[in-house]
Structure 1
Amino acid sequence: MLIVRFLSPGADRPSVGVRAADTVTELPVAGLGELLGLPLTELRAALATTGAVHDAADVRLLPPVDQRMEVWAAGVTYQRSREARITESERSADVYDLVYDAERPELFFKSSAWRVTGDGESVSVRTDSEIDVPEPELGLVVNAHAEIVGYTVVNDMSSRSIEGVNPLYLPQAKIYLGGCAVGPGIRPVWEVADPYALAIELVIHRDGEVVWSGETSTSLLRRKFDELTGYLFRADVFPDGVVLATGTALVPDLPFTLAAGDRVAITVGEVGTLTSTVVSGKEGMSWLADSR
């Protein structure tokens, strides 16, 4: 089962539904934010309600974020990420050692809902950056009550060259139009037996060829999900829920960089596959601002 946002044929506004096999069943809610405002037990019951049924092939899936939802991310949560950040940093490599070993995790805002792209849509690389990479991550879907209710796939796009100059440039390296993709849907938490044993795969295609690929597992994650969620909710509220990306362990070696036209595929076991096409600059993302 996947909880999805979608457009059905002829519809002028998105719906929320449950995808199972080859069908999508609508739910009687105004949006994901309404669903994620419920406690976990009530959300689970709400998924049992029935509505119009569509052929999955006839609907267009949208990113599983809407209304006042936000996307946040955790950094330096895997040993590989720690090593990559140290390698790219020109002056402040010790910062990444300190945050990896610290009691308090690194958490940062990633995107508002309207900026997020979904499966089959595009992500962008900044035109003022020399080295840009996708960061494949398991995303926690957390309701307004700080309960983890599901999992999704996140592409936390990143400019390694900008952050490498100075860690304080992290917002510019991470937060920009086309810098975040989420999808294809939300796998309910009760359907995943062990979220610390999920395979994560990244494949980058260029001109029909695989130019980079790698695999890892959430078993290598240093932080626990409840720990990350607890810190996120310590001094903040998310009335319509939040997606929290849990960090990456797949970082291509320097000087690899994405290029316009590349296709990025991220697969998280038991959750799904998120695909994106790479464009260059905010001009390549003009469709996103227009469509929202």
Structure 2
Amino acid sequence: MTHIVRYESGGQVRVGVLDGGAVRPVPRVETMAGLLGRDLASARSAVEAAAGEPAVPVDEVVLLPPVDGLTEVWASGVTYERSMDARVEESQVQDVYSRVYAAERPELFLKSVAWRVVTDGEPIAVRPDSAVTVPEPELAAVVTATAEVFGYTVCDDVSSRDIEGENPLYLPQAKIYAGSCALAPGIRPAWEVPDPAALAIDVRVTRDGATAFEGSTTTARMRRSVPELVDHLVAAQDFPAGAVLSTGTGIVPDLDFTLREGDVVEVAVEQVGTLTNPVGSLEAARAAGARRVPA
């Protein structure tokens, strides 16, 4: 399975292609933002040129979050019926979610800037002022500056359900904080995923060695297509360094479940990849992002 990755080797951060346990650098591409700043044809050509580069075993490099520079991560809400049902259950303003689910315009919101994103093995977190925090396993589309889908990755859109449920205007606080956005390190090329509308998504939360929560869904249950969501994302603004757009969750635990520090969250998206994160302290999540603050 081929993935485009960011990685550190010998103190240098590169963009490369991971395939068969080895990474090959993408020639003349310094950053992922630079790659996503191209049109799809040019970006694909650059990726395919890596085949002629020398390979480095993946266990000799450090895989990094798949975004950098000015690339933003956005997210979609209430794109699955299960998500609508859960939001209605938790919210004191219930009608707003059923209306969004049925509306022509989707709910889209900024989730994270690149330097705050954590990746596989790094800590996600629970806000200390939240009583109900859950993982939200999602397929994420990686979009070029020309609004073309370059690839897909795995996202955990960690969310404080009780804060959002108290008032929909609290959504930024429920959704955007240190350790709330995790992306798998690899981007699966779009040209190798024939049908993103038919992918299985699974999540498992392990606590003290036992399964505390697990669930499954499929992107076939999404009310909106990836192209539709991308069209709304780019309708009124530009993304010169591309963007990542998470497409919403169809797996929501009951309200009596919340993540706890020490849990481990595993997300898998068929044909795309996997993502595993421990639930750490807010301070640990802050530190993970702070290591990547732009100079």
The TM-score with structure 2 as length reference comes to 0.96
Superposed CA deviations along residues 202-222 of structure 1, whole A, max 9, x for unmatched, are 000011111110111000000
Paired residue for 2:117?
116
Superposed CA deviations along residues 228-261 of structure 1, whole A, max 9, x for unmatched, are 1011101111111100000000011111000001
Cα distance, 1:288 vs structure 2:
1.8
Match of 1:284, as an amino acid?
A: A
Residue pairs, 1:20-59, within 5 angstroms: 20-28=19-27, 29-50=29-50, 51-59=53-61
1:67 and 2:66 equivalent?
no
Distance 2:166 2:271 in 1: 37
Match of 1:233, as an amino acid?
A: V
Distance 1:79 1:286 in 2: 33
- Asked if the contact 1:184–1:272 (Cα under 8 Å) also holds between the matched residues in 2, the reply is no
Paired residue for 1:14?
13
Structure 2: stretches of 5+ with no match in the other structure? none
Match of 1:18, as an amino acid?
A: V
Question: Stretches of 4+ moved more than 3 A in 1?
Answer: none
Residue pairs, 1:104-183, within 5 angstroms: 104-183=105-184
Cα distance, 1:149 vs structure 2:
1.0
- Asked if the contact 1:133–1:158 (Cα under 8 Å) also holds between the matched residues in 2, the reply is yes
Give the direction of change, closer, same or farther, for the CA distance of 1:224–1:290 in structure 2 (3 Å limit).
closer
Cα distance, 1:26 vs structure 2:
0.7
Paired residue for 1:287?
287
Partner of 1:177, secondary structure, is coil
Instruction: Answer with 41-50 or 236-245: which moved more.
Output: 41-50
Distance 1:286 1:88 in 2: 28
Paired residue for 1:203?
204
1:233 and 2:230 equivalent?
no
Structure 1: stretches of 5+ with no match in the other structure? none
Paired residue for 1:80?
82
Partner of 1:14, secondary structure, is strand
Distance 2:107 2:289 in 1: 29
- Asked if the contact 2:122–2:288 (Cα under 8 Å) also holds between the matched residues in 1, the reply is no
Partner of 2:187, secondary structure, is strand
Cα distance, 1:289 vs structure 2:
4.0
Paired residue for 1:223?
224
Percent identity, aligned pairs only? 53
Distance 1:190 1:286 in 2: 35
The TM-score with structure 1 as length reference comes to 0.97
Give the direction of change, closer, same or farther, for the CA distance of 1:153–1:289 in structure 2 (3 Å limit).
closer
Residue pairs, 1:260-279, within 5 angstroms: 260-279=261-280
- Asked if the contact 1:127–1:280 (Cα under 8 Å) also holds between the matched residues in 2, the reply is no
